[in-house]
Amino acid sequence: MKISEISRVAVIGAGSWGTALANLLAEKESVDASLWAREEEVYTEIREKHTNHLFLPDVKLTPALKASVSFEEALQEKEVVLIAAPSHVFREVLQGLKPHLKPDMSLMMATKGIENDSLMIMSQVAAQVLGHEFSNRFACLAGPSFAKEVSRRLPTAVSIACEDRNHGEKLQRLFSTGFFRVYLSGDVVGTQLGGALKNVIAIAAGVCDGLNFGSNARAALITRGLAEITRLGVQMGSNPHTFAGLAGMGDLVLTCTGDLSRNRSVGVQVGKGKSLQEITRGMKMVAEGIKTAKSAYELRKKMKVAMPIVDQVYEILYEDKDPHRAVKELMTRDLKTELEH
């Protein structure tokens, strides 16, 4: 291992994705990985039994993974801080981390969402909370990657976006394994938008499946959903090609079709007639698309971008709109050309 390589990482957030990523890193002999857990019982179980049944059941974690309930302990002598907490607590977690961050650390996030009140993506939240001290070394990870499949070492490909190419290449090497292939991108904004907005489209795809509308409807919805994501992304300065890649089309297809998708599952239950309150009452893990639907709806109005699928998902979730009516309105909109200039 070269001296310049990254080898000490703190993962913040012991949900399914944070646990899977921390375990992936800890399994590499050259990497010292710690995992911060908010829940005392999760911390204790990881430390004593090397399992996390609450968020990642039926997975045996490597004994090399160090658990912590203290930010100070988790960040001690670390080079990279990877945040995998849900988007609605991202700001709170950053504020807790701030006193323990050192100037030579870099910040990375695997959180996918748009903050409800500010309508900021996570890199913007980080800049507001921490200043621009970490902006050159800020990176994000996205792509089609169910935590359960990564933990089973099934072949997976993701994208890491970082404006500093040299630093991005170090992160690329850090996360790459024989089953986890990492591509590099310079589009930090587009990568985050793709990762956040696909959850909203996945709810819509689930609604279609819950209504038994068939494969044609799902394929059309995924395709037009990608057009909406790209439209907003370009308006916000992203590279349109990002949305044809892993953080765009790749993650969108997985989340709209995979049985492990929590967001698709929410949509299926909505399509079958359940209320949002009924659905969320029985959930132990966050479906990011529920909160992101509200953020995306407000953000698209602010940016003056047409996103009819996002509009309908928002109205179904927050205004109790009948899903059949939502689909009819989508299908009977004014006729248009498919490709936009």
> In the chain, count of helices (H) and strands (E)?
15, 8
Token pair 């179980």: residue: 45
Q: What is the pLDDT of residue 313?
A: 98
> Which residues are catalytic, by number?
198
User: What are the domain boundaries of the chain?
Assistant: 8-186, 197-331
Segment 3-18 shows an average pLDDT of 91
Segment 158-165 shows an average pLDDT of 96
Token pair 């921390």: residue: 22
Q: What is the pLDDT of residue 3?
A: 44
The rounded distance, in Å, linking the Cα atoms of 142 and 91 is 19
Mean confidence (pLDDT) of the chain: 95
Backbone angles phi, psi at 165, to 5 degrees: -60, -40
Residues whose CB is less than 8 angstroms from the CB of residue 178 and which lie 6 or more positions away in sequence, other chains included: none
Percent of the chain with pLDDT over 90: 92
Q: What is the pLDDT of residue 4?
A: 64
138-142: strand order across its sheet:
66-68, 32-36, 8-12, 80-83, 106-109, 138-142, 156-162, 180-185
CATH of domain 8-186: 3.40.50.720
Q: pLDDT digit string (tens) for 190-213?
A: 999 999 999 999 999 999 999 999
| CATH superfamily membership of 197-331 | N-(1-d-carboxylethyl)-l-norvaline Dehydrogenase; domain 2 (1.10.1040.10)
Q: What is the pLDDT of residue 1?
A: 37
Segment 173-182 shows an average pLDDT of 98
Segment 237-255 shows an average pLDDT of 98
In whole angstroms, what separates CA 267 from the centre of its chain? 18
Q: What is the pLDDT of residue 341?
A: 54
Q: pLDDT digit string (tens) for 262-298?
A: 999 999 999 999 999 899 987 777 789 999 999 999 9
Structure-block tokens of residue 17: 């994705």
Question: How many C-beta atoms surround the C-beta of residue 50 within 10 A?
Answer: 16
Question: How many C-beta atoms surround the C-beta of residue 239 within 10 A?
Answer: 16
Q: What is the pLDDT of residue 2?
A: 44
Dihedral over alpha carbons 136, 106, 151, 283 (to 10 degrees): -90
Amino acid at 92: E
Q: Largest alpha-carbon pair distance within the chain?
A: 61
Backbone angles phi, psi at 280, to 5 degrees: -70, -25
Bridge partners of 66? 34
Percent of the chain with pLDDT over 70: 98
Q: What is the pLDDT of residue 97?
A: 96
Q: What is the pLDDT of residue 150?
A: 98
Q: What is the pLDDT of residue 132?
A: 78
